[in-house]
């Protein structure tokens, strides 16, 4: 198939998709913390653009959202395992004048967690007629949305730790996976980062936790300047990898460093949590930056604003999301303009 393109996140969007926490998920142990966090995130997103919420109990979801303006909120009841829509959500690809919906295999980040219900969500939404797309395709690969970054011009940024994980596609070599990505997304170049992994991250180093395209010439990334920080050497090597990358026209990328968040520990067992400012969500009018009520929040906001001169960067408290080892980008998936069938919502 030719004439394929994976849109960049900053292109115009129809909607954002999330999954609302279930009492039957691992969130049950942090219910009092996570529900106010989710309600606030939903309020923030829906104040700017439409939001599709998948939940296993529509009445319960609507109860928790009872005080919010509902114009942009669409709740769909489906069974779920967890809330990481970035990784089980559909990946929308442009094919000429139409869209294709890619329904990749989601296996719980390399068989770490149950994913049987989440892996069916895209298919169920397709059956409900939610997508305005020519076709839904099962590429056959295990692939999560958080593991790839697109500049919309044919360049993909990813990590070897994740895509070469033995519990994802062990039958394929790096070269074979790259060829599949090029074919599926119409790519001209795939950049593989060998470094960049945060303690507490269950995903085997998703790219959206450490480095992100802001436009086709700009990459925001987590920078560590504290030599005593355990991440220092790994993130320094990742920084050097980014400095060596070149755009399709041979120019170095503009690199925007984001501060390394201070150490945050879980209150119940003192495990280190993977706080990162790279897990921001780009929307039509704004960029939502996860904040954690720590010293580095203000610097992260000001730094990221330099990467988005035409959008307002707004902070949203995501500290509770860290308790299950994710943040804002992890719980969201965007759909490009023209890819949602509004009459079926």
pLDDT at 129: 98
User: Bridge partners of 19?
Assistant: 54
Residues 6+ apart with CB under 8 A from 86: 144, 145, 146, 208, 329, 330, 331, 332, 333
Average pLDDT over residues 291-296: 98
- Name the E strands within the chain: 4-5, 13-19, 51-55, 73-77, 91-95, 98-102, 135-137, 149-150, 155-159, 189-193, 211-215, 218-223, 254-259, 281-282, 286-291, 312-317, 333-336
Tokens of 343: 């009459």
Taking the C-alpha atoms of residue 136 and residue 165, their distance in angstroms, rounded to an integer, is 26
Q: Is the pTM of this model over 0.75?
A: yes
| Residue 100 vs residues 103, 244, 335: alpha-carbon distances, Å | 10, 33, 11
pLDDT at 308: 98
Q: pLDDT tens across 1-34, in order?
A: 789 999 999 999 999 999 999 988 889 999 999 9
Tokens of 47: 């104040």
Average pLDDT over residues 202-216: 96
pLDDT classification of 223: cutoffs 50, 70, 90: very high
Domains and CATH numbers, the chain: 4-340 (3.75.10.10)
Taking the C-alpha atoms of residue 104 and residue 90, their distance in angstroms, rounded to an integer, is 8
Q: pLDDT tens across 80-118, in order?
A: 999 999 999 999 999 999 999 999 999 998 889 889 999
pLDDT at 1: 77
| Residue 267 vs residues 29, 30, 201, 230, 319: alpha-carbon distances, Å | 12, 11, 17, 21, 12
Q: What letters, b where the CB count within 10 A reaches 16 and e where it falls short, cover 170-189?
A: eebeeeebbebbbebbbbeb
Whether 150 contacts 8, CB under 8 Å: yes
Taking the C-alpha atoms of residue 262 and residue 331, their distance in angstroms, rounded to an integer, is 22
Report the mean per-residue pLDDT for the chain. Answer: 97
Average pLDDT over residues 312-339: 98
Count of CA atoms in the C-beta half-sphere (13 A) of 42: 29
> Which residue in this structure is represented by tokens 């060998």?
194
**What 3-state DSSP class applies to 255?**
strand
pLDDT at 113: 87
Taking the C-alpha atoms of residue 294 and residue 319, their distance in angstroms, rounded to an integer, is 10
> Which residue in this structure is represented by tokens 């909120």?
73
pLDDT at 111: 82
Q: pLDDT tens across 138-170, in order?
A: 999 999 999 999 999 999 999 999 999 999 999
> Which residue in this structure is represented by tokens 């939404």?
125
Q: Is the pLDDT of residue 49 over 90?
A: yes
**What 3-state DSSP class applies to 240?**
helix
Q: pLDDT tens across 25-41, in order?
A: 889 999 999 999 999 99
Helix%, strand%, coil% for the chain, nearest 5? 30, 25, 45
**What 3-state DSSP class applies to 324?**
helix
Which of the pair, 122 or 23, is modelled with greater confidence? 122
pLDDT at 114: 87
Q: Is the pLDDT of residue 232 over 80?
A: yes
Neighbours of 239 (CB within 10 A): 19
């Amino acid at each position: 198939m030719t004439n394929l393109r994976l849109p960049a996140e900053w292109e115009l969007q129809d909607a954002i998709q999330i999954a609302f926490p279930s009492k039957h998920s691992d969130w049950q142990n942090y219910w009092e913390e996570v529900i106010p966090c989710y309600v606030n995130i939903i309020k923030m997103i829906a104040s700017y653009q439409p939001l599709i919420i998948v939940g296993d109990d529509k009445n319960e979801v609507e109860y928790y959202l009872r005080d919010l303006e509902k114009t942009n909120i669409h709740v769909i009841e489906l069974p779920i395992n967890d809330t990481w829509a970035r990784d089980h959500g559909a990946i929308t690809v442009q094919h000429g004048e139409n869209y294709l919906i890619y329904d990749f295999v989601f296996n719980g980040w390399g068989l770490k967690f149950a994913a049987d219900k989440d892996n069916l969500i895209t298919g169920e939404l397709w059956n409900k007629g939610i997508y305005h797309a020519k076709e839904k395709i099962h590429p056959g690969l295990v692939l999560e949305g958080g593991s790839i970054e697109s500049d919309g011009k044919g360049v993909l940024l990813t990590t070897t730790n994740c895509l070469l994980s033995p519990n994802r596609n062990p039958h394929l070599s790096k070269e074979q996976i790259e060829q599949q990505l090029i074919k599926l997304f119409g790519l001209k170049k795939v950049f593989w980062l060998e470094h960049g992994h945060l303690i507490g991250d269950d995903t085997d180093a998703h790219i959206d936790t450490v480095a992100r395209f802001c436009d086709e010439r700009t990459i925001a990334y987590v920078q560590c300047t504290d030599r005593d920080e355990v991440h220092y050497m790994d993130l320094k090597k990742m920084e050097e990898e980014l400095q060596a990358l070149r755009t399709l026209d041979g120019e170095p990328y503009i690199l925007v460093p984001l501060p390394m968040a201070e150490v945050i520990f879980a209150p119940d067992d003192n495990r280190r949590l993977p706080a990162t400012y790279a897990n921001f969500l780009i929307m039509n009018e704004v960029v939502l930056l996860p904040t954690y009520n720590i010293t580095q929040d203000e610097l992260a906001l000001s730094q990221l604003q330099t990467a988005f001169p035409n959008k307002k960067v707004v902070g949203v408290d995501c500290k509770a999301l860290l308790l299950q080892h994710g943040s804002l980008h992890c719980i969201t998936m965007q759909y490009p303009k023209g890819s949602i069938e509004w009459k079926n919502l």
